[in-house]
Amino acid sequence: MRHRRAMLIVAAALFVAAGAASSSDRNRTSSLAPAIERAAKGERCVEDTPSMRRNHMRYLEHQRDATVHGGIRGARHSLKGCVDCHASQRTGSVAAQPTDFCTSCHTYAAVKIDCFECHASRPVPAGGGKP
Ligand code: HEC
Ligand code: HEC
Ligand code: HEC
């Protein structure tokens, strides 16, 4: 029963996503994806929004190299930072539901990332947890 309800919620979210994509986004070439859940903490992103849309994967890649090979942590483009600001208020995650921040765009763009198999997709409480 509970499972069925969850399925319905997912189905509804997908329906909304599809609707947004077909109605509003068709006419807005500047937009990369349907605006499903874009609420974020903070005044602004770590770079300006157009740069983030275009280049966030490159920033993350550089940050990973800097951390893993250079030992730099807590830096500007950390994945933890993305999660802290962009986690959904409803699900608490950036990638638990189709409507969550990272997933909403990636589903639309047919991008698959494995990052959250290792990294927490939810803000980690101060003092511990996975990287
Ligand atoms: C197999 C496990 C694994 C996967 C998959 C993985 N990472 Fe990591 N990642 C790590 C570990 C371990 C570290 C080192 C953590 C540390 O030393 O703080 C790290 C560090 C990082 C850092 C630097 C620390 C930070 O929070 O900024 C970034 C950025 C990062 N990874 C991004 C990614 C991205 C983007 C993906 C998906 C494309 C990804 N990782 C996939 C294990 C993984
Ligand atoms: C301090 C909080 C904060 C951090 C940290 C942060 N963001 Fe953002 N981000 C925002 C805000 C606020 C916006 C909305 C800006 C706007 O509406 O113009 C945004 C916008 C974005 C956008 C554009 C969304 C859209 O509507 O097209 C992307 C993509 C993005 N962020 C990805 C990331 C990634 C990836 C990281 C980690 C490397 C990150 N953000 C870190 C606050 C943050
Ligand atoms: C505004 C839409 C949008 C948002 C929001 C977004 N992404 Fe992306 N992301 C994309 C698109 C589009 C691509 C594919 C770009 C390409 O292939 O050039 C991508 C690609 C990536 C890649 C590279 C995947 C690969 O296989 O090359 C990573 C890593 C990534 N995103 C991480 C994130 C993370 C983490 C978040 C959430 C914090 C996020 N993205 C939020 C649109 C978005």
- In this predicted structure, what is the pLDDT of residue 124? 84
Domain coordinates in residue numbering, the chain: 36-118
Which residue from 59, 118, 122, 124 has its CB within 8 A of the most atoms of ligand 1, so it is best to mutate? Answer: 118
Q: What pLDDT score was predicted for residue 37?
A: 59
Query: DSSP letters along the chain, please?
Result: -HHHHHHHHHHHHHHHHHHHHHHTGGG-TT-SS--S----SSSS-SS-HHHHHHHHHHHHHHHHHHHHHH---S-TT-HHHHHHHH--TTTS-SSSSTTSHHHHHHHHHT----HHHHS-SSPPPTT-S--
For residue 11, what pLDDT is reported? Answer: 42
pLDDT tens track, the chain, 131 positions: 444 444 444 444 444 444 444 433 333 334 454 555 566 888 899 999 999 999 999 999 999 999 999 988 778 999 999 999 999 999 999 999 999 999 999 998 999 999 999 999 999 876 654 55
Q: Which pLDDT score, from 0 to 100, does residue 25 have?
A: 39
User: What pLDDT, on the 0 to 100 scale, is given for residue 43?
Assistant: 86
pTM of the predicted structure, to 2 decimals: 0.83
| Ligand sitting nearest the alpha carbon of 75 | 1
- Tell me what pLDDT residue 71 has: 87
Determine the distance separating the centroid of ligand 1 and the alpha carbon of 5, expressed in angstroms. Answer: 34
pLDDT at 128: 53
Which ligand 1 atom minimizes the distance to the CA of 63?
29
Report pLDDT for 20: 43
